[in-house]
Each structure stands twice: as C-alpha cells, then as structure tokens.
Structure 1
Amino acid sequence: MKVEVLTVEEVLPLRHAVLWPNEPVAFCRVAEDDTGAHFGIRQHGEVVCVASVFFSGDTARLRKFATRVECQGQGMGSVMLQFLIEHLRARGVRVFWFDARASALDFYQRFGFAVEGERFYKHGVAYYRMSRVL
C-alpha cells in the first residue's frame, strides 16, 4: 500500500460516501480545502482511503479521514496514519490533533494519541478531541 498526494476533487467522493452519505456533497467540504494537503491510498486504481491535513505553524490538524467500508479492517487506515505521523514529523510539525469519532478512539490510541477534554457532538455524532506531540 502506498500513500500518495491527491487533490481535493479526488478525496471528496470518498469523504462523502463514507462520512456523511446522507448529506449533500458540499457538506463534506471544509473551508480550508484549497490550502490543505490531501492524501490517499488506491486499490486497483480506485481511491479507497483518504485523509486531509491542515497546517497552522508547527501544528497540523487531521480532517476527513475515511476508508471505504468494504476496505476497512485491511490495515489501510493504519498505513495512512503512520505515513502522516512520519510525514508531519519530517516537516517539523510538533503537535498533530483532530476531532475523532467516539467509535474510533481505540484505533487512535494505538498510535499514541490521547483524549483531551470531554465528549462533544457534531451533527448528532459523538466526538473527542485527540492529539499527540510528534
């Protein structure tokens, strides 16, 4: 599995299909998409895992991390997250953070991320803020 740089147009369809399929595609865009870094993993030429990262000084925020449902459990998310940690560290990023769905806490904790604060909700879905120092 190889992580590659993608455009926002390449990551948007999978974001929509996995994260918010019952919302309009525009709901899956974020204001900073034009300045973010977008990454993906392809399988048989098709984008099956995506993640976007947004920078502010020596801090980076992960947003819209998604893997096709039928591809989950095959290690793609782990490959992506490990790539991002190493890539960001090499770029001089010191703190890597994101809002994680409550259902994914164990996954992120395996990579050294810790919960910050209390559970909160976005559009009826439970989240926790998580971060780690790189």
Structure 2
Amino acid sequence: MEIKEIQASQTWQIRHEVMWPDQPFEFVQLEEDNSGFHFGVFDEDKLVSIVSCFIEGKEMQFRKLATLEEYQGKGIASCLLKYIFEFAKSRDLKRVWCNARSNKKLFYEKFGMNDTFKTFVKADQEFTIMEIMLF
C-alpha cells in the first residue's frame, strides 16, 4: 500500500460508490475541490481509499474519507488519517476537523478526535463535527 497525492477528479468515483451511491454523480464533486489537497491509497496500481483536505488559516478540514468496501476493515483509512495528521503538523496547523457521520464517531475518537456536539443532517445522514488540536 502506498499513499500519494492525487487529483480531485480521482476521488469522485470512490466518493460516489462508497458514500453517496444513491445520489447523482455530480453530488460528490465539491465546488472547492480545486483548492484542496487530495490523497489516495493505492494497492499496487488500484486506488482503494481517498481523502480530501482543505486548509484555511491554521486549520484543516478533511472531507470524504472513503475506502472501497472490499478493502474496509484492513486499517487503510486509519493509515490515511494518520498521514493527513502528519501532513497538517508539517504545515504547522493547529486544528484538524471533519464533519463525521454520527455512526462513525467512535472511529475518529480512536485517533484522539473529540466530538464538538455540533450536529446537522444532510441528505438524510446525521453528522457531528469532530476535531483534534495539534501542538
């Protein structure tokens, strides 16, 4: 497995297949994609997991962390999450946050992220804002 920086357009198929299969393909194409950093995990030449990161000031939001179903449960997303935390530290950022699906909250807590208890609903999915402070 290898983590590499990728183009935004390379994330769209996995975003759609894993996160929003019932939505139109355009639903996963973010307006801000061109201003972000996108990372992918490759198993040989196959892209199997992705995440997109957006920096504003001293903060970074990561979005659309997704792994193909047949590769889930193997620690791939965990490696990718650790990678982007190091990426944020290397840029001297102070806070990393995400809009996590509420049913995935425990996953993020394993990495020291805290629930802010700020919740919202999008396309019938409940989300909570998770964050970690970096020093």
Q: Distance in 1 between matches of 2:115 and 2:103?
A: 13
Partner of 2:83: 83
1:55 Cα deviation (Å)?
0.7
What residue in structure 1 maps to residue 125 of structure 2? 125
> How far off is 1:107 after superposition?
0.7
Q: Distance in 2 between matches of 1:118 and 1:96?
A: 15
Aligned-residue Cα RMSD (Å) equals 0.9
> How high is the TM-score relative to the length of structure 2?
0.95
Residue identity (%): 31
Aligned to 1:34: 34
**Deviant stretches of 4+, over 6 Å:** none
Tell me which residue corresponds to 1:114: 114
- Segment of structure 1 superposing worse, 23-32 or 72-81: 23-32
| C-alpha contact (below 8 Å) 2:2/2:43 kept by paired residues | no
- Between 82-91 and 110-119, report the one with greater CA deviation: 110-119
Question: In the aligned structure 2, how far is the partner of 1:40 from the partner of 1:67?
Answer: 10
Task: State the distance in 2 between where 1:52 and 1:59 align.
Answer: 14
- The aligned counterpart of 1:9 is 9
Tell me which amino acid in the other structure corresponds to 1:78: S
- Equivalent residue of 1:93, what SS? coil
Contact 2:38 2:53 in 1 (8 A): yes
* 1:93 aligned residue: 93
- 2:63 is aligned with what amino acid? R
Deviations 1:20-39 (Å, cap 9, x if unpaired)? Answer: 01111110011110010000
Amino acid at match of 1:10: Q
Matched with 1:102 is 102
Partner of 2:45: 45
The one-letter code matched in structure 2 to 1:63 is: R
Counterpart AA for 2:42: R
